[in-house]
Structure 1
Amino acid sequence: MSTRSVPVRVLACAAALSALAFATPGAKADGLADAKAMVAAHSSLPEKFAPPNPPFDAKACVGGKKLLVIPVSSANPFTKNIATAMTAAGKEVGLEVVEWENQARPTQWVQGFDYAINNGFDAIDLLGGVNPAVLGPQIKAAKAAGLKVFTSHFYDTTQDPDPSLDGTSRIPFHKAGEIMANWAIAQTGGKVNAIIIGSDEIVPTAPFVEGIKKTLDANCADCKYTYVNAPVPEWSTKIQSSVQSGLISDPTVNYILPIYDSMSQFVIPAIKITGKTGQVKIATFNGTPFVIDAIQKGEVEMDVGESLGWIARGILDNEMRLMCGMEASDQLYVPFYLFTEANAKDAGTPADYDRGYGDMHVGGYRKLWGVE
């Protein structure tokens, strides 16, 4: 996505912020303690790997099969790196995983289906934001040709997947929202004034944002927030201008909460231009490498990370089983882990998509697949 800067548009503030700031009612008396407890719970990695499915012979199951991964956009570092990690992990069990390069255009997703159908693929994975609801005819055609169609890292665990799918791997986006909100509460002593940034057209955005709002309401009597809806195609134009306008119109704003961390590339310049560096913090979600780099530079305060390599293996674990007619979990077992200035360098300099989380998932899944 473009990183070009855009001019300050102070007068656009009223239109850009989609909700008026308001204090949160009915907060619990022990809300600050609850916030700190949740932050502490996600400040360390699990001590051991917990298998999400039973062991199986993955090579015997999928050896020689082909999976086409269609990410929401190959320009999005988050989904791009997951697709790359899936390709590498697939080689360990003889599964050919191919990424369908695209720039988030639905016509390109349609072309990906045609390619899979015409080139002997066994399954298609719609990764990280490709909405199956807009691809009904293509899914029907793929299934008629004998392919299975999955989504991954798309639905919240509270949401029902599209019935046309052969399987899905969901994550608790709402929980990531709770962690982000509690981080801000803990860091400010319950004095949050935040701008939340989301993209309403992305299916899990609603429960994700609701997780942030409900947590602020429950744990923080003196917190307030506004919400900005920035559709994905408008990230490069709307996010920076909206944040700049919000910071100028309300000098007491102390947190920006972009729910997908790739949004941060447009938030950082807004904070710098308005002279708010050091005053306004960014807390976000995904653990994309360039954002962890930004933590090391002091530009982002916290990122709720997910090991992209762990995600990749979790997706493959579910989808390989489904390709072979087996049962599989409909969720991803991927622990959330907070990156801050204290541990961001553990991910490498520059950060890598699979460093900083230990390597228990690599050996864990290899053992689960019978290749170790």
Structure 2
Amino acid sequence: MTISRRIILAGLLATTSAVSLAACSKPKEAPKKATGKTEFTIGWSIYAGWMPWPYAAQAGIVKKWADKYGLTINILQINDYVESVNQFTAGKLDGVTVASMDALTIPAAGGKDTTAVIVGDYSNGNDGIVAKSAKTVADLKGARVNLVELSVSHYLLARALESAGLKMTDVKTVNTSDADIVGAYASADVQNVATWNPQLGELKKTKGTTLIFDSSKIPGEILDLLVVDTALLAATPDLGKALTGIWYETLALMAAKTPQGAAARAAMAGLAGATPEDYESQLSTTFLYYTPKDALKAIEDPQLATIMDRVRQFSFSQGLFGPGASSVDAIGISLPGKTLGSSDNIKLRFDPTWTKLAAENAL
């Protein structure tokens, strides 16, 4: 089972709960009548870039857009990140917040046709490698590195080693749970750690510690999404419109340098169990695509295919496609103008349809 850096953030709240949808004024236009399934549940777990979802529910933004399209959208917190992705894969959730690597290696690899409706952000320093004696990545040759194996930390290490002309076989990884990694670093036996915030921030405070690599060196590669069941989107495309409208209205408020914007971010911090200062710090190393035009540019950039090719190559090399996958091309990934892998078995889709509508103010 893939483990993600999101687990520690999900553990900040002690209980799993659905966020209540606050009442809000009706939109000017009359609600549309939807056909087929009209009620949907979107799962989320705590991470700086995903806190707009529960805030939007609390503030009535979810209800506003759901009403516009004659839908009911429930925003449900799942404390365990991996469990949220597993529930989506099993059909218990209609959509979920997920890192791109995990979208590929859990639902897509599990045979579920999955579409990224929102490309929300990428880690821009939230993930890193720290060392007590090593000063550069090259110094890691022959060393042990503690990390959560098969997570984005593992991917980060692989990319760091590549940048220094090294391979994964040049180091020995030691699987260490996210809950134990800060304590492990206090031991003299543990010299090097790859991890994510908030643990990364704590470890950087340790005397004599050097940050030798972080995710700002590989921009766009640790990508965070909102994915939805592709068949549901085909049956109810208005779901994609509503979710996209919710997202960008909330981000516009979040980005505002006004008292209202500050209050929205403070509310998101509270929902994450963090102080406003801690949350602002996490946002500083999270590159959010605040506008649909910026997100659309990222989705349509040929660089996305290069990034997803790296992700799939790493995932296959680590056996994350499952025992039935005979090659890296076993799972198809659809991108604007390009398909990676099997065109007969596309299971992960980056579809710009709804982002483009938002960019054109056509939702």
TM bracket, shorter-chain basis: 0.3 to 0.5
| Superposition TM-score, scaled by structure 2 size | 0.41
